[in-house]
Amino acid sequence: MSLYIESLKCGYTKPIVEVEKGIEFKEGKVYGIVGPNGSGKSTFIKALAGIVKIFEGKVFYNQTNIFSLSDIERAKIISYMPQSVFSNFPFTVIDIVMMGRYPHEKSRFSNDKESKKVAEEKIDMVELTAKKYSSILQISGGERQRTSFARVLAQESKVLLLDEPNSNLDITHQEKILNIVKDEVRLGKIAIMALHNIKLAAKFCDIVFLMKDGKIVDFGRPQDVINAENIKKVYNIEAIVYRNPFGIFDIELIQKEYEKGIHVHVVAGGGQGQAVYKLLVEMGFKVTTGVLATNDTDYETAQALSIYTVFTMPFMPIGEVEYIENVELIKKADFCILCDIPFGIQNVKNLEALKFAKKLFIIEQEDISNRDFTNGIATSLYNSLKEKAVVLNTLEELKHILQREEKK
């Protein structure tokens, strides 16, 4: 069994992704799609899921055109996980996961025992059993991401289409999710993932596609296509590709010179800064970040991108030395970005430091009251900062503002 693309042009109002040659995705393999923001990774995944318009080309599964099938029949073959889960309705975790069972239900009006059993098994796999009756409005971004992944697993389809499945996850859960994906393909499934982390793509994918400007630049085994030449071609970033002392395929990206002369300081944490860092580095800004704990996903990403980082030890509140260094960087920065992160006693001083920002952009996807674990201290500081800040909801909005800033 395989999924086959017969040359493809897809997009929204016009084609933005073009695949000129046929591509076969074979069962038992994990395929990764990597590339900079705006390269077409998500659009490519959405085209295979039937979410965006296909202007030319066809997609076959086992010689059957998947778009000639009914929605239910197609859902038995293909499941899709979006980048993030948004809902204003207080569905519980198990409600969301049970949605994946719809193609298998015998009745539209009731859930059978088998479906509930499968859903609970998948919830347990992503370590959310204790939260299965919690509203998705009351759990963290990472837990919502794991809920979405459990829904895809519960659908028990032949092909898993995953759009950045490890976004918003800490280091531990990033690897756990990708290990589950590997386990699924060993059962004869196909997994196709859009990933922003090249290292994880190299570690977990059997085949990697490199994309830029809506086209596939190269594809093949990680060791064959992830090299300094291709990374330079796709990301316009210098890189060193090597095997580390443990024999693991590794990549070190080197932040390019700051030709625009604009300094941006990012306050992040818990994986919320990853896409922001990459966007800023790709656009040629000087980037600094902090304060981050050394076990934080964003710390790992910042080090991979050679971003100067003010750091502290895990599980420790920000000390006076780190606070002062962070304030100095914030004062020097042309503007600062505050990511959509939770606040506890360990990192609340980052909010105090941001009062020194010349210009502040806040990325807000979840109300601060749901992210405040300081008995209201963070909410008070945050709302004070919001009075003078520009508040954004998406990375795309941030990109447009950055483009305007660099033209000034």
Phi, psi of 158 (to 5 degrees): -85, -30
Structural domains of the chain ordered from first start: 2-239 (3.40.50.300), 263-406 (3.40.50.720)
Single-letter residue type at 254: I
CA atoms within 13 A on the CB side of 198: 27
DSSP state at residue 130: G
Identify any residues that bridge with 268 across adjacent strands, giving them in sequence order: none
| E-assigned strand segments in 190-346 | 190-194, 207-212, 215-220, 238-243, 249-254, 263-267, 286-293, 308-312, 335-338
Residues 274 and 169: their CA atoms lie apart, in Å, by: 11
Residue 393 Cα to chain centre, angstroms = 15
Identify any residues that bridge with 390 across adjacent strands, giving them in sequence order: 361
* pLDDT the model gives residue 206: 95
Of 54, 61, 18, 63, the residue nearest 161 (C-alpha)? 61
Longest dimension (CA), the chain: 64
> DSSP string covering 313-360, please?
-TT-PPPHHHHHHHHHHHHHSSEEEE-S--B-TTTTHHHHHGGG-SSE
Q: 């923001």: which residue's tokens?
A: 37
* pLDDT the model gives residue 114: 84
Averaged in consecutive runs of 10 residues, what is the pLDDT profile of the chain (408 residues)?
89 90 93 90 92 91 90 92 80 92 71 85 95 90 91 95 86 88 95 90 93 94 90 82 60 57 90 86 86 88 84 89 94 93 92 94 90 92 92 85 76
Q: Taking the model in full, what pTM does it have? A: 0.67
* pLDDT the model gives residue 36: 85
| Other CB atoms within 10 A of residue 292 CB | 29
